[in-house]
Structure 1
């Protein structure tokens, strides 16, 4: 399997990388995002043969084409088994019907940090550790989180000798549970940073570090945000898992996906590119609705980020949308690079008629404000006895409003445990959900976090100083 950047033509067409190179790099050196040169397509017979298999086996069969040449089958099977052994549910991602409505909840919050990010990051952390050891290298992860990626990434790499992680979150714009899941980790390789700005600015700070090639090479920077294709790859699996349980490949399935950065729903698009029969996706957003707006009128235009009850989606620059744009631009990396440069300068990008028509064939968009979110939590609890977190509630509300064909089952991705957002849940159903046992004492744990303004020079100084102090002590064993 070979990979290219979405902006590959801007530095010379034809440059390809291996999965290992893509995983360790995170973001392409030309500023683009990596994706396969060609999507592997599975036959109807290959999809059918997966029905009834446990999650781990489906994962191996779906991901095998992507990692070929980097991991042999036995080694990769061990990594997958070790990753999902950390999940509370033996199914990894249980699928629950909501009565006879035709809607189903795909519970993706049974991992260590109670969010869907664990599904990919538990595996990514292990893959990074193995390949860094093989190269006798260490790496520095620089990342930004709107809430859940940070804790999942920290949990995946805490205590690893060859990896340090610098994770930024927007100060005061994540829930207390989300913050504490990050800031109460005292492992010496974990560095939490609260930035007095928005998630979009945090993400820009991370990208600026990668854009400084000398700094990037000095610290062997890598990424664990969904800009890293390895994240997308691991998330493809649960789309296949859910669809197979609902009758695929003999029948199509639809998905409603709460998303801000477009990474989660892009993994579903990747599954469709591999031949999984998906009728359409509902892109469910909160009041920060850039994705819903581009799906309504074909124009991607930024706006001011507004805090909401669903903070993980408080985003106005959806990085992963660039991967979809690459296909909409006919995989012309040079044209896309110019378009993205213009978008960063003007805050606006208009799709042509053909691109917009292609986009709408597979995607619908919707949005919920906070009141609609609370109402959706209350409605699902009253009708089906299920308590949803606010992000999942948006996916649920959007699913109900955007079923193209009632005969086609619709899967709502349940992206986080409701206990991560107790204030929103209490507002909807009158009681606060309890944290699972593994986090029962979270509110009593000490915190450690650094503050920072929106200043890339200050961020680089912090990383330089920390790494100059710790690298000799934590150099990989020879």
Structure 2
């Protein structure tokens, strides 16, 4: 299977090249030249497999220049090493009435990003050995919270790699920040940026496509790649867990083979729900994809109107990983919906860059409405949802998952749809102890330090706090630098020890 660029469909690269490069030289994103298909006979067979075997099967259909032995080595290295605290890797929790929580946070950093970022370093190392000619791979990451730590942990001390992470100084939770600034490893660096996630993401993309920087890296036997979801090696593993969730429902006789389900995804950068869309196009029987946003509801407005407009106030919310106004992965969806017309995509992306907005055609909007429902909720509704879910169902969820659950209830009210539904639960609630405690009406929360909050939440709910978070109390802060979007390039070169001539 070859891969092409959303901005130049004549580009053709292998899966190893797509993973190693991360982004096309023209600024476009790599997409597969066609999607593998799952038939009715595949589902009962896949249902009998465990998560790792399902991953090998699905990834083997996309990464065709990796041998089965190489893929097996990568998948086993990611999921079979005791890094996940649940042997199911991505278990389903039954909330009753045909609603299920897909828990994607049982990995080492307690967030859904582990599902891909435990695997990506293995894939990238093999891809580099096939395509990069011995160069050091420089992984450049912008994060709204969870990607940064998951990428740092995944690439920590991986030979032949360096990883540099930028996070918005005031735009992540205290626990997310602690996870990053205490990161161990000899090949890692972390820097705060004075601005929001969009500033960090735009800065990273600019550096990626800067020919002068590329020449400096070449002179030092280095090349850039990405651990953000712009990298196909991040997106492909996410397709697996939606297919696996359906297989689990089948195996447990919760649904019949071929029966449709809804999937609800809280998302900001659109990668997580795009993976579900690709799974649908492969044959997963999805009735509706429900896209859940917080107050930064640019995606909700886009899905409803066809107008993407980032010219709006940026809100710092209690679901910070979704505080995003430029959703990079939407470009891949639009490429598919407009019939892979790269000229159309270039026009829309140029409009976004120059004016901050674009409007899709009526036929694209019609296709969008067939597949997607968009909704959003504010912080107050998010807290109400956390409290109501815990008090009525005894289930404790984080601030992002609660956004998904709140929007799903809006969807049910609007449509009356009672299709079995899977909600992507994206983070452990202890990563956001302050907001979760406030939702549960705990007193004097702001007088506690971060680890007192974790202990208070554990005591109040009788839910055990995850060891990767409680263990941060004894970790030394290693990174305290800050920069602006204008100085990010200098920071990157300095981190890499590269001098400009």
TM-score after normalising by structure 1: 0.94
1:31 and 2:39 matched: no
State how far apart, in whole Å, the 2-side matches of 1:78 and 1:21 are: 19
Please show how residues 65-464 of structure 1 align to structure 2 within 5 Å. 65-69=61-65, 71-85=66-80, 86-99=83-96, 101-133=97-129, 135-217=133-215, 218=217, 219-246=222-249, 247=255, 249-302=257-310, 303-403=312-412, 404=415, 406-429=417-440, 430=442, 431-433=456-458, 435-456=465-486, 458-464=487-493
Change (3 A) 1:248 1:339: farther
**SS of 2:12 mapped into structure 1:** coil
Corresponding residue of 1:475:
none
**SS of 1:98 mapped into structure 2:** strand
**SS of 1:441 mapped into structure 2:** helix
Corresponding residue of 2:447:
none
**SS of 2:46 mapped into structure 1:** coil
State how far apart, in whole Å, the 2-side matches of 1:469 and 1:205 are: 18
State how far apart, in whole Å, the 1-side matches of 2:488 and 2:351 are: 26
Corresponding residue of 2:450:
none
Q: Is the 8 A contact 1:249 1:276 kept in 2?
A: no
1:293-326 per-position Cα deviation (integer Å, ceiling 9, x unaligned): 1112121111221100000000011010011111
Change (3 A) 1:313 1:294: same
Change (3 A) 1:438 1:342: closer
**SS of 2:121 mapped into structure 1:** helix
Q: Is the 8 A contact 1:255 1:413 kept in 2?
A: yes
State how far apart, in whole Å, the 1-side matches of 2:127 and 2:289 are: 35
State how far apart, in whole Å, the 2-side matches of 1:124 and 1:308 are: 29
Q: How much does 1:444 deviate?
A: 3.5
State how far apart, in whole Å, the 1-side matches of 2:360 and 2:257 are: 32
Q: How much does 1:131 deviate?
A: 3.3
Q: Is the 8 A contact 2:199 2:485 kept in 1?
A: no
Which stretches in structure 1 are left out of the alignment for 5+ residues? 471-478
**SS of 1:447 mapped into structure 2:** coil
- Which one is further off, 165-174 or 73-82? 73-82
Q: Is the 8 A contact 2:229 2:271 kept in 1?
A: yes
Corresponding residue of 1:465:
494
Q: Is the 8 A contact 2:23 2:230 kept in 1?
A: yes
Q: How much does 1:405 deviate?
A: 5.9
**SS of 1:240 mapped into structure 2:** helix
Q: Is the 8 A contact 2:120 2:233 kept in 1?
A: yes
Q: Is the 8 A contact 2:319 2:399 kept in 1?
A: yes
Give the total of aligned pairs. 463
Q: Is the 8 A contact 2:195 2:485 kept in 1?
A: no
**SS of 2:55 mapped into structure 1:** helix
Q: How much does 1:281 deviate?
A: 0.7
State how far apart, in whole Å, the 2-side matches of 1:130 and 1:147 are: 27
**SS of 1:283 mapped into structure 2:** strand
**SS of 1:236 mapped into structure 2:** helix
State how far apart, in whole Å, the 1-side matches of 2:257 and 2:409 are: 24
- Which one is further off, 359-368 or 158-167? 158-167
State how far apart, in whole Å, the 1-side matches of 2:243 and 2:172 are: 31
Q: How much does 1:406 deviate?
A: 4.1
Corresponding residue of 2:446:
none
State how far apart, in whole Å, the 1-side matches of 2:416 and 2:428 are: 29
**SS of 2:167 mapped into structure 1:** strand
State how far apart, in whole Å, the 2-side matches of 1:405 and 1:93 are: 28
Which stretches in structure 2 are left out of the alignment for 5+ residues? 250-254, 443-455, 459-463
Q: Is the 8 A contact 2:269 2:327 kept in 1?
A: yes
